[in-house]
Structure 1
């Protein structure tokens, strides 16, 4: 796979032989004749007209991520949140139903329970490890299920093979946010996923310098199998004059053709060419970064588990995890660098811990080459009710860590500094 990280989607094919995909910083694209541009808008030919719906640089990114995921095609958008929003809007309509894991990133949970609910979609959340709960939650109007391959912030894995089998038996699409795992560690399509979304802002970019999102169609989703469930794809579109289920070809699937034509265009969720270029450069080292980061995170998680100030380590390697079997089976290459610790002493201890850090940066991003720390309960999950925060693994004393590429001994020393500060607060509370 390392070869695809560097070469997929590009073969020095521009007129100048550039070995690095160039940044196409143009808002519009010229055409030789009126008929050429007319046919492009009529969806009778491929090409670029206006950068709001795509450009040659983002096309390379789409092809590369699709190749890494083993998918049929991909669609690059402005952010990870845009990727989740557009993927779900393309699958769900007013009056339909979504079943989602209880353990999701806070921003995703807010979108589901607030904005998506405003659009007339009903949401049911379930314990991701309770397969009976998944079976019971799916009903005739359910169109999709949503999980994270590794959940944020506790890095919990799900039995995607089993969940996919349950969903597909009821003709329900499986959507997986695989931001934390990345295709370097795990490919959801190999375990039944129909759609994979990434916040490419995180590990794919890897350097905290660009925002982007990617939607991958793994090739499993066929709206023609149950046309009555997906009328927006299988019936003629009054607006576009086509049946999207008929749109297939290189870099195109019915779902992504519809998503690009309608939602990327209408929402204006355009990925700038410069951001696509930054993500492409990040992907070139993804395989190497994920191996190093995963190993460092596992080392630090093991050490943190032996520290008196830490009540619990939420890392896949921690003893007694209910997902241990899944991790051993599905993640032989590691589980990335995001995990959390629960400190005795609640928010005050978490605040003292974070403020004492000198090498680690207090920030809400993840997947950076720099190690980052934050308190989810007052940041990424702060707008959720306390009970919902607790279910997501964002307790009062929880600190999320995103391990970077620093030397493990330097990180251990810095985390020890934070633990010492938290210990003083815990002693006062006692």
Structure 2
């Protein structure tokens, strides 16, 4: 039975898993082990030489974690992928095989605040750099790419403003330049969007958010489309040149479309150690089983609440792309046909102090630095997630001083509206 022939609701329950061959257990077991016994010395040698696929040490691979990775790969329509310790780890893992000192990426200005900091500050320690560009300005994106560019990076539905990126246009620019497009699909999830269909080479996730859905564990994932020719330009020697640590093996020649995935395991996880633990993988696997049901409710609630907020006299602006008034409304049916997600910002006429007071008065909305939970969440980015940015940078990122970010949960919409109403009063 091919995963590609199954519907999304079936894949989210069955993909990447089968009854446990040892016990018949139907739910994926938690393989709480660090190491795996080899059949003999020859078997061990084949595994270490990448001549045979199997399990060596749980920093590299673990059956529970691999089941999760394979399920996400199936939902995204990729050929391979890995699960790792967090969304931030996934971003480093995604770029690690591509980058060298002196190389740069082209990144959208509309990114999660922590990502902006990782790209603008931490990357410098690796000798990498990021050029931040407004991805609505396609000419600017095209002009920013140079001989040292190794990737283009954006979010499907940008955190925090809920802006939907024109992945088709950005994918065309990246493809024309011979540069991989990396798309963070955390806030859309594969239920609302499959970036690979729109030209993405790699897809990254913070599985902490909607995929797990219950705020219990952190995790990340990287999915490879298998469509990019890593050997064509000579810019990706980690994948297309002989690897000294494996006796001159060339990943592209040996593994073909799976070259990126095998490199991420055999080199990335081996040396960076950004490993997901099997218990976290188990929680996320269980969360994914209800992803489509939850996302339908998230989107339904978000649309209703954003409409109510837009009509309230105390509100200056609402950024939800699912509103007909949004400049990104026309992208919903093309990029996210099942809905515009459940993350957006709202600007209060009462300013910075009004935001602080409103947050403190909410009952159902939890004031936390997370999103994608079944519970509705709120945060004031200017004083928390984006506080490291200047006022001008905050405005560019869409989180001015009078802006709240809302992550709409799956509670009754009427109750959430009542909570917002009393908090704004």
Match of 1:198 in 2: 205
Q: Tell me whether 1:175 sits opposite 2:178 in the alignment.
A: no
Counterpart contact for 2:321–2:327, Cα < 8 Å? no
Q: Distance in 2 between matches of 1:15 and 1:335?
A: 43
Shift of 1:319: 4.6
Match of 2:243 in 1: 237
Matches within 5 A, 1:123-202: 123-202=130-209
Shift of 1:290: 0.2
SS at match of 2:275: coil
Q: Tell me whether 1:297 sits opposite 2:294 in the alignment.
A: no
- Between 1:348-357 and 1:316-325, the stretch displaced more is 316-325
Match of 2:221 in 1: 214
RMSD: 1.3
- Between 1:159-168 and 1:384-393, the stretch displaced more is 384-393
Q: Tell me whether 1:356 sits opposite 2:361 in the alignment.
A: yes
Counterpart contact for 2:333–2:339, Cα < 8 Å? no
Q: Distance in 2 between matches of 1:297 and 1:320?
A: 15
Distance 1:398 1:247, change over 3 A: farther
Q: Tell me whether 1:253 sits opposite 2:258 in the alignment.
A: yes
Shift of 1:305: 0.4
Deviations 1:42-101 (A, max 9, x none): 212111111111100011111110100010111100001100111012211111121110
Q: Distance in 1 between matches of 2:253 and 2:388?
A: 42
Q: Distance in 1 between matches of 2:261 and 2:114?
A: 23
Q: Distance in 2 between matches of 1:240 and 1:275?
A: 31
Normalising by structure 1, we get a TM-score of 0.95
Q: Distance in 1 between matches of 2:339 and 2:131?
A: 31
Q: Distance in 2 between matches of 1:266 and 1:223?
A: 21
SS at match of 1:332: coil
Matches within 5 A, 1:10-409: 10-226=17-233, 228-241=234-247, 242-248=249-255, 253-409=258-414
Counterpart contact for 2:97–2:236, Cα < 8 Å? no
SS at match of 1:394: coil
SS at match of 2:246: coil
Shift of 1:13: 3.9
- Between 1:237-246 and 1:4-13, the stretch displaced more is 237-246
Deviations 1:273-307 (A, max 9, x none): 00000000000000000001101001000000011
Q: Tell me, which stretches of 5 or more residues in structure 2 are unaligned?
A: 1-7
> Once superposed, which parts of structure 1, at least 4 consecutive aligned residues long, lie more than 4 Å away?
none
Q: Distance in 1 between matches of 2:243 and 2:392?
A: 43
Deviations 1:93-123 (A, max 9, x none): 1111211101000111101101112212232
1:2 to 9, 15, 30: 9
SS at match of 1:197: strand
SS at match of 1:404: coil
SS at match of 2:150: strand
Q: Distance in 1 between matches of 2:224 and 2:183?
A: 11
Counterpart contact for 2:205–2:222, Cα < 8 Å? yes
Shift of 1:135: 1.1
Counterpart contact for 1:247–1:257, Cα < 8 Å? no
Q: Distance in 1 between matches of 2:181 and 2:279?
A: 31
Normalising by structure 2, we get a TM-score of 0.96
Shift of 1:263: 2.4
Q: Tell me, which stretches of 5 or more residues in structure 1 are unaligned?
A: 421-430
Q: Distance in 2 between matches of 1:107 and 1:30?
A: 40
- Between 1:183-192 and 1:120-129, the stretch displaced more is 120-129
Match of 1:425 in 2: none
